[in-house]
Structure 1
C-alpha cells in the first residue's frame, strides 16, 4: 500500500518539477530566443504534466482511504471492547465522535505530509537542474521555516489537549446544570452554580487564548519558509544573473517557490498544526485508559442496606416475629418500553414502619418513577414491590390501599371544600376531624378565607400553592399509612412546606417518603436516598456530606462546605 502511495505521489509531484523547468526552457530556448514554437511546446508539456498530476491525485485519495479505514476499524473494536468490558461511560462519545475525528485527521495528516515531501523534493530537483546556485538562496530559509514549525508541534499538541479538556469539562458541567435548573433554583444554589460554570468558561477562554498565541509561531514559520525565499530571489536577482543564472531559470525558480513550495508549506503548517495535534490528543484518549475519578470511590451502603430494624427474619424460639416493613423493593428493574434504558436496575429498598425518607437527585434520574412503582401506578419489569408485607396492586384493584400519592400537580374538583377533603374516605369526615387535619397541615387560613368546610371551591380561582394545601390535607385524612409526597409542596413557601411535612411525619403509625424539592426538606428526614444512577446511596445528612459529591452539590447553598474527605 505504501509503495502504491509513493508511486502515485511521484506522478502527482511530477508536475512540480515539470512546470518550473518547462517555464524556464520556454523562456530561455523559446520566447527569449525568438523561437515561439519551442516555447509553446514547453508550455504544452507543462499542461500535460498538470493533467497527469490530476490523475495521480485521484488515485492517491483511494490509497489513503485504504490506509486509514483499517486504522478506524481497529479503533472502533478497541473502543467497543473497552466499553463492554469496563462499562466505560465515554465509549459512546469515543465511538461516534472521537474515532471519526481520528480517521479524518489521520487522512489529512497523511495527505499534507506526503504532499509537502514530494513537492519539496520535486521543486529542489528542479532548482538544481536549472542552476545549483538557486539552492543557496531557497534552501536555508525553507529549512529554517520547517524547523521553527517543528519546534512548536509538541507545545501545540499540549495546548490543543488542554483546550479540548476544558471544552469537555464545560460541556459536562452544562449537561448537568441545564436539566437541573429547577433543582438549582429550589435549593437556592444559583450563585454557586453560576460561579462553577463561570470557572469552566474562564478555563476554556484561557486555553483558547494560549492556543491562539501559539498560532503566531505558525505564521512566522510560514513567512520564513515560504515567503522569504521569493523575496530573496528578487533581491539577489542581479547577483544571480551576473553569475550565470538565466532569466528563464530565475522565473522558473520563482514559480517553484510561489506555486509549489509556498502552497505545500502552507498546507503542512495549517494541516499538521491543527489536524496533527488533534490526532495526537484523540489517539491518546482512545488508547490510554482514563483513571477513575473520585465518583467511583466506594459509596455508602446501597438503598437496600437502609437500617430498618423491621425486616422479617426467621423466627427464633422465645422471640416474637418482627412486623413487616412499611415498604420493601427487591431487585426492582423498570424501563419505559422494551427497548428503553432501565430507569431503575436491580433496585433494593427497605423502609420501616414510621420511617421518614427523603429522595433527592437530578431531574430525570427516576425519583417520580420510584414513587409511581410504590403507588402501583407502574409495574416493574422484574422484582417485587411490597407494602406492609402485601404486594403493591394497581389503583383499580379492589383492595384496601396502603399508600397515598400526592403528586406535584394537585387535583381539586368543583364542589365544597369538605367534599374535596373527604375524596379518599368512604364516608363523610366529621367536621372536628376535618378541622384538626386542616390545622395540622396548615390549611386553616385558606379554609377561613373560603368560608368554612361547606364553602364552594372554584379550582380556577385557587393558586397552585392553595391547591397543594387542599391535596395535602386530603391525603392526611386518608387512612393509608404510607404517604408519598412527590414534590407535593413545591409551590409552598419553606415554612408552609416544613409544617405540612412535620404533620405527615407525626401521623400515628404513618410512614413518609418525600421527593424533596428543597434540600431543607431532605434535612428533616431521618434517612436520605440520593438517586444518582449506578452511584445511588443512602444515609443521614452528615454521612452523605462526606460520601456523596452529588449531595454536597445539592446541599452546598444550605450548609457549609465540608472538609475534604481523606483518600
Structure 2
C-alpha cells in the first residue's frame, strides 16, 4: 500500500500544491535525484576548464601529455554523466508514477461519484480525462522536473567552472543570462493564459464540428447549411485568433534565449582584449565560450522549451484533471412516472441558437400502451424526436412529459432507447442480455425465443459464451440489444431504427414481440412494414406532422401516400431508398 502521509489529496489542492505535494512526498527521492544530478552535470562543471587547461598548460606549452590528461578527465566526466543520466530517469519515475496513480485514483473516484449522482454511467469526457489527461499530466511533470533540475545544476556548475577558470568572465556572462531568464519567466503567466484559451477554443471547435456532423441530416432537411457553416466558421475563427495570440507570446521564448544564451557569446568575443589584459590566454577565452555554448545556452534553451511547453501543459492539464474531483453539481431528482403515456406540448427544438428548428411547435399525445411508428424522409427529425422523448435532448420551448414527469427527470429504469448502432461489450452472452435487468434464466430464455435469438445462442455455444462486438454481425448485435431492452422493466420503449440490420422476417418477429409486451412502444420506422404493424403512425414532413392509422393516412396525408408509393410489398424494400 502506498504511503500517503506526506501527500495532499489532489482534489484538495490546486495545481501548484499538487505538484509540491508530489515532490515532497518522500524527501529521500529528492536527495537521490540531486545526487545523481551532480553526476549527470559533471561535464558542465569541467568542460570549459578542461579545454582551457589542455590548451594553455598542455598543447600550447609543449606538454601534450598534460593536454591529453585534461581531455581524459573530460571524457571521464562524460562517462559519469551517462551513468547519472540513467539513474536520473529512474529517480524521476519514482516521483511521477505515484503522482500519476493518485491522479488516476482521484479521477476515477470523482467520475464514479458524478455518475452515481447523475444516475448514468461515465461518458466520453470522463474516459478521456482518466486516460489522456492523466498521462499528459504525468509526462508533463516528468519533463518539468527533468529540465528544471538540469537547468539548476548546470547553472551552478557553469558558475563554479567560470569562477575557477577566470572570475572576470562572469561579468560578461551573468548579466545578459539573468536578463534573458527574467524575460522568459515574466512571459510564463501570459503564455499559460494563451495556452489555456487555445485549448478551450480547440475543444469548442471540436464540439461544434461534432454537433454539425451529428445533425447533417436535419441541417440538410431544414436548409440550414449556410447558417450552421457560419456558426462553425466563427468558432474556427476564434480558435485561429487564439492560435495567433499564443504564437505572439511564444515568440518571447526566442527573444529570451537570444539574450540569455547567445548575447554572452558576443560579449566574450567583444571583451576578449579586456580579458587578455587581465591575463587570459587563448585557452581561457575558448574555455569560456565552451561553457556558454555547450552548457549554459543549451540549459536555458531546454528550460525555455520545457517550461514553455510542458510546464504550461502541466498547469492547464492539472486544472482540468483536478476539477473532476470537485463535488458533483446537484442534479434534478428523478421520478418514476405513473404510466408510459407520452405528451409533447408546443415543443420546438433546433441544433444551435441560429439554426432553423428541426421540430417546431409540436403537439403529440401517445397514450399509455400505444404503439406508434414514426415515418418521414431521412433527416426530417425522427431521431431528434426520439431523443426528446427520452430526455437526451431538451426542447428550446414547450414541454415533454412521460407519465406526467418531465422527460429529463424520468427514472432511468422507466424507459429504454435502442439506437441504430447496437452496443455489445466484451463478456458472456448472459452478461450482455441481463446488463439492464437481473432477469432469471427462464425469463431470458423466453426473451430469446420471442425475439428470435435461439439460433444465435446455439451458434455461440450457450449463454456462458464470451462475446464481443467483432464476433457478431450488425444484425446479431441488434438482436442482443433488443433482448436486453425486452428484459428491462421499462414500460416505455423507443426503437430508433433499431432493426435496420435485420431482414424483414426477423424485424417483424422483434417488433411483434415488443408490441405484445406491456407498455408504450415508439418505433422510428426503417421499412413501411414497421408502420403497417403499428397501431398508429406519425408522419413527419418538415412543415407539419400528422397522426393516424395506415388506411386513414393513405387517403388524407399526401406525404405518407408518396412514401407508401415507394414501397414494393414483394421485396419489403426500405421505406426511404
TM-score, length of structure 1 as denominator length: 0.61
- Other-structure match for 1:433: none
1:37 to 61, 65, 68: 65
Corresponding pairs, count? 395
User: Is residue 326 of structure 1 aligned with residue 370 of structure 2?
Assistant: yes
- Other-structure match for 1:214: 249
CA-CA distance at 1:138 after TM superposition: 0.4
- Other-structure match for 1:226: 261
User: Is residue 120 of structure 1 aligned with residue 174 of structure 2?
Assistant: no
- Other-structure match for 1:481: 535
2:488 to 379, 382, 385: 382
For 1:167 and 1:68, locate their aligned partners in 2 and report how far apart those are by CA, in whole Å. Answer: 28
SS at match of 1:33: coil
CA-CA distance at 1:163 after TM superposition: 0.4
For 1:95 and 1:398, locate their aligned partners in 2 and report how far apart those are by CA, in whole Å. Answer: 38
For 2:72 and 2:153, locate their aligned partners in 1 and report how far apart those are by CA, in whole Å. Answer: 23
For 1:404 and 1:149, locate their aligned partners in 2 and report how far apart those are by CA, in whole Å. Answer: 62
User: Is residue 17 of structure 1 aligned with residue 61 of structure 2?
Assistant: no
Q: Give CA deviations for 1:365-396 in whole Å, capped at 9, x if unaligned.
A: xxxx9xx99xx998523115489xxxx99556
For 2:286 and 2:42, locate their aligned partners in 1 and report how far apart those are by CA, in whole Å. Answer: 19
For the Cα contact (< 8 Å) 1:334–1:381, is it kept in 2? no
CA 1:394 to 1:279, structure 2 compared with 1: closer, same or farther past 3 Å?
closer
Of structures 1 and 2, the larger Rg is shown by 1
- Other-structure match for 2:441: none
CA-CA distance at 1:325 after TM superposition: 5.0
For the Cα contact (< 8 Å) 2:198–2:239, is it kept in 1? yes
User: Is residue 151 of structure 1 aligned with residue 186 of structure 2?
Assistant: yes
Structure 1: segments with no counterpart, 5+ residues: 309-322, 347-368, 412-470, 516-567
User: Is residue 5 of structure 1 aligned with residue 25 of structure 2?
Assistant: no
For the Cα contact (< 8 Å) 1:332–1:345, is it kept in 2? no
User: Is residue 175 of structure 1 aligned with residue 210 of structure 2?
Assistant: yes
For 1:290 and 1:199, locate their aligned partners in 2 and report how far apart those are by CA, in whole Å. Answer: 33
Cα RMSD for the two superposed structures = 4.3
For the Cα contact (< 8 Å) 1:144–1:224, is it kept in 2? yes
**Map 1:42-441 → 2, pairs under 5 A:** 42-87=70-115, 89=123, 90-289=125-324, 306=342, 326=370, 331-333=414-416, 336=422, 339=425, 379-385=485-491, 394=510, 407-410=525-528
For the Cα contact (< 8 Å) 1:332–1:380, is it kept in 2? no
CA-CA distance at 1:179 after TM superposition: 2.5
SS at match of 1:501: strand
Q: Give CA deviations for 1:393-438 in whole Å, capped at 9, x if unaligned.
A: 9556799999897834447xxxxxxxxxxxxxxxxxxxxxxxxxxx
- Other-structure match for 1:532: none
SS at match of 2:414: strand
For 1:95 and 1:291, locate their aligned partners in 2 and report how far apart those are by CA, in whole Å. Answer: 15
Structure 2: segments with no counterpart, 5+ residues: 1-28, 116-121, 345-366, 372-401, 404-412, 427-431, 438-474, 494-507, 561-577
TM-score, length of structure 2 as denominator length: 0.60
CA-CA distance at 1:243 after TM superposition: 1.5
For 2:229 and 2:329, locate their aligned partners in 1 and report how far apart those are by CA, in whole Å. Answer: 23
For the Cα contact (< 8 Å) 2:51–2:287, is it kept in 1? yes
For the Cα contact (< 8 Å) 1:5–1:60, is it kept in 2? yes
- Other-structure match for 2:497: none
For the Cα contact (< 8 Å) 1:333–1:380, is it kept in 2? no
For the Cα contact (< 8 Å) 1:24–1:252, is it kept in 2? yes
CA 1:43 to 1:506, structure 2 compared with 1: closer, same or farther past 3 Å?
same
- Other-structure match for 2:384: none
